[in-house]
Amino acid sequence: MLERIHNAQQLMNEVCKTLGRQINVMEVCGTHTVSIFRNGIRSILPGKLKLLSGPGCPVCVTDQGYIDVVLQLADRDDILIATYGDMIRVPGKGGSLETKLPSANVKVVLSSEDALQLAKDNPEKKVVFVAVGFETTAPATAVVVKEAAAGSLENFCILSGHKLVVPAMRALVSEKNHNIDGFLCPGHVSAITGYRSYAEIVEGFGRPCVVAGFEPLQIIDGLAEICRQLAAGKAELKSVYTAVVTEQGNTTAQKIIAECFEPADGYWRGLGNIEKSTLKLKDKYSQFDALERFDITETPSEDTSGCRCGEVLCGLIEPPECGLFGKSCTSELPIGPCMVSSEGACAAWFKYGPEKKRER
């Protein structure tokens, strides 16, 4: 194992020396971010290889406007909110679900099926499932929407906050001033989408896309592979997470997403509106869409003043460069979404940083 790390390190050092400039690699997965910090991976990288923590945490990129709709619904006596625990602390303009928790109408669920069961068990209530997550999570929502439709379960609906990873990556590399040389792609999103899903980033934008698992060696292998491609002046699709991720991905899950949802434009916290980057229920399932059922419009919100999570998510700044970081925004009292989520870049920096700045 040590030899493998040493070889990867040597390769990365040589590439940085040869290219003679800073190399920026963005990890697009919150679990990668945590693993990188937890395992001190940054400390073994060459000074010129910089890791940027991208929009890889679905909690962090959920727009305040979405949270505000959830809070609005949670105030109604006839509604039960079913949510994954991850969303509980995320602040909208009017507070977070945590503030509503003592009330009986917010329930934390571990799966979409639990949310469906809640609707079956409470026929007098309308159950709204807070459906967030990337491609990994979306198929689980699609399954229960289909089942609710098949069983004519009229007191169940979802508020779709599902998002797609590749359109966000495309938006980032479409920006003129972006500084991303390559992407370390998420393991379990790719288990669903397959690594072919990054073809447009590799072919259209000439950026290496390498899928890695979450163990430190996987991440180091993935980074070394990106460096190897950059040194060769190439951009390729690759998975070093071969135990799980295939080129095609999980086609059953892809089909069920496509059956229930269609891509729609939508807001990402800090990144703004991104074309065809969210999943909206198709017309035939519109009766299960909470926005349609309760005739609500989601209004995108401005970020809290001073909060620079948007720039953090784009890889433009590191968390300590934000004036709020570690001062008014901490793990105890988080302001921005990247501090709220344990998979957010700010939370990882706050827990494991400040890093010693090495000579660059």
Partner 1 sequence: MCLAIPARIVELEGDKAVVDAMGNRWKARTTLLPEAKLGDMVLIHAGFAISLVDEEEAKETWQLLAQIANFEDTQNKISG
- The distance of closest approach from Cβ of residue 57 to partner 1 in the complex, given in angstroms and rounded to an integer, is 7
Which CB, 226 or 253, lies closer to partner 1?
253
Size of residue set near partner 1 by CB under 8 A: 48
Residue 5 within binding range of partner 1, rule CB under 8 A: no
Residue 41 within binding range of partner 1, rule CB under 8 A: no
CB 24 within 8 Å of CB 285: no
CA torsion, points 51, 181, 235, 17, in degrees to nearest 10?
A: -80
Q: Which of 10, 18, 174, 252 binds partner 1 (CB under 8 A)?
A: 252
296 beta partners: none
From residue 177 to residue 216, what is the string marking binding to partner 1 with x (rule CB under 8 A)? Answer: ---------x-xx-xx--------------------xxx-
Amino acid type, 150: A
Residues 6+ apart with CB under 8 A from 322: 306, 307, 308, 309, 311, 312, 329, 336, 346
Residue 256 within binding range of partner 1, rule CB under 8 A: yes
Which CB, 35 or 53, lies closer to partner 1?
35
Residue 351 within binding range of partner 1, rule CB under 8 A: yes
Which CB, 174 or 331, lies closer to partner 1?
331
| Subset of residues 45 to 64 that bind partner 1, contact rule: CB under 8 A | 57-59
Distance CA 125, CA 33 (A): 39
DSSP structure string for 322-348? STTBTTTB-SSS--SHHHHSTTSHHHH
Q: Which of 66, 134, 267, 268 binds partner 1 (CB under 8 A)?
A: 134
Structural tokens at position 75: 């105030």
SS3 content of the chain, % helix, strand, coil (to 5): 45, 20, 35
| 344 half-sphere exposure, CB direction, 13 A CA radius | 31
Which CB, 43 or 305, lies closer to partner 1?
43
Residue 332 within binding range of partner 1, rule CB under 8 A: yes
Residue 114 within binding range of partner 1, rule CB under 8 A: yes
Residue 136 within binding range of partner 1, rule CB under 8 A: yes
Which CB, 86 or 181, lies closer to partner 1?
86
Which CB, 351 or 358, lies closer to partner 1?
351
Candidates 44-52, 73-81, 104-112, 223-231: pick the segment binding partner 1 (CB under 8 A): 104-112
Residue 174 within binding range of partner 1, rule CB under 8 A: no
ω into 216 cis (within 30 of 0): no
Q: Which of 4, 6, 17, 38 binds partner 1 (CB under 8 A)?
A: 38
Instruction: For residue 160, give the nearest of 271, 285, 270, 301 by alpha carbon.
Output: 285
Element (H, E) at 263: strand 261-268
- The distance of closest approach from Cβ of residue 151 to partner 1 in the complex, given in angstroms and rounded to an integer, is 15
CB atoms within 10 A of CB 265: 12
- The distance of closest approach from Cβ of residue 243 to partner 1 in the complex, given in angstroms and rounded to an integer, is 4
3-state secondary structure of 62: strand
Direct distance between the N- and C-terminal alpha carbons of the chain, in angstroms, rounded to an integer: 27
Q: Applying CB under 8 A, which residues contact partner 1?
A: 29-31, 34-35, 38-39, 57-59, 84, 86, 89, 110-114, 132-134, 136-137, 139-140, 143, 186, 188-189, 191-192, 213-215, 243-245, 250, 252-253, 256, 331-332, 341-343, 347, 351
